Amino acid sequence: MKVGIISDTTASIPQNLINELEIEIVPYYVIRGLETLRDMIDVQPAAFAQYLLTTQTLPTTSNPSPGDYVNAILRLAEHSLEIVALTMTSKGSGAYQSCLAAVNMLRERLPKLNMEVIDTLAVAMAHGWATIEAARAAKQGLSMTEVINKARQTAANAMMIMTADTLRYLYMGGRIGRAQHLVGSLLNIKPIIGMKDGIIVPLATERTRAKAYSRMVELMKEKLGNVTRIKVAFMHVAALDQLEHLKDLIKHQFDCVECLTTDLSPALAVHSGPGTVGLSFIPAQS
């Protein structure tokens, strides 16, 4: 029996890969007024992006409950009692703790369960790449230890860089103050963000999209050093046209041995808003 893999919707993995690699996906929640919507089930990226353009009050989000993970584990346990779960950074969400709680809840019911819960310290497709590579290792029939090592190694090497079209959603979500929002909007600032030690951090600011994209390439080169062969996932929130410009730039600078395109899930899109574009990448093995 191959090792089972669990992840969640915020990894923003393309659906065809979820199906192909048989990844068990647990949904986050988007709370909009009195509605509690399951991410990527009850609410889809395109419609949600249109909603964000008009709303004056941002929805909130919530991580999966221990019960959600219990159900996912039980589904996989019908075929394998060796399971690896990967969560987004524990420094930005409670999913890691929820999953650990689920494992503890099942100890008596599934005494033979061998399960590892990995905090990727990443978000979006940086988390997604770790999941994909772990699932590929599992599909090849590698051992539990090998799958875990692949997941941890990929998560450690993955990098995420994104730029938002506007500071409006960062302001509405309480992540920057009104003064920053007003000055930034006046100057048409394009913030560039990434991850460090599991926390979202500012990497740079530029005045135009073109300059932001060029800066993103510079940041990639700093991260990769002499490495030019990469696997890259391009992500966006209702900005596929803009994403094409970024793709062209990256493909001219790097040897992209695998190239994916995906929507950010609504549970992530709410924090950056329509117009967001970004990428997550890992070095490709020789």
Kindly tell me if the per-residue pLDDT of 129 is higher than 50. yes
Q: pLDDT digit string (tens) for 208-246?
A: 899 999 999 999 999 999 999 999 999 999 999 999 999
Report the pLDDT value the prediction gives residue 172, as an integer from 0 to 100: 54
Q: Tokens for 205, please give them.
A: 């600011």
Rounded Cα distance between 251 and 154, Å, is: 21
Give 55's pLDDT tier (boundaries 50, 70, 90): confident
What is the predicted pLDDT for the residue at 170? 61
Q: What is the mean pLDDT of the chain?
A: 91
Q: Is 78 exposed, middle or buried (0-12, 13-18, 19+ CB in 10 A)?
A: exposed
- Residue 74, CB half-sphere, CA atoms under 13 Å: how many? 10
Q: Is the separation of the CB atoms in 230 and 284 below 8 Å? A: yes
Which of residues 95 and 199 earns the better pLDDT score?
A: 95
Note the CATH number of domain 4-28+63-157.
Answer: 3.40.50.10440
- CA 202, 205, 211, 215 torsion-angle sign: negative
Please give the class, per CATH, of domain 159-283.
alpha beta
- Cα(106)–Cα(103) distance, rounded to whole angstroms? 5
Torsion angles phi and psi, residue 100, rounded to 5: -60, -40
CA gap 93, 263 in Å, rounded: 20
**pLDDT value at residue 176:** 46
pLDDT at 186: 39
| Residue 279 contacts residue 258 (beta carbons within 8 Å) | no
Write down the domain spans for the chain: 4-28+63-157, 159-283
Residue 201 is predicted with a pLDDT of 84
pLDDT, tens only, 132-173: 999 999 999 999 999 999 999 999 999 999 998 766 656 555
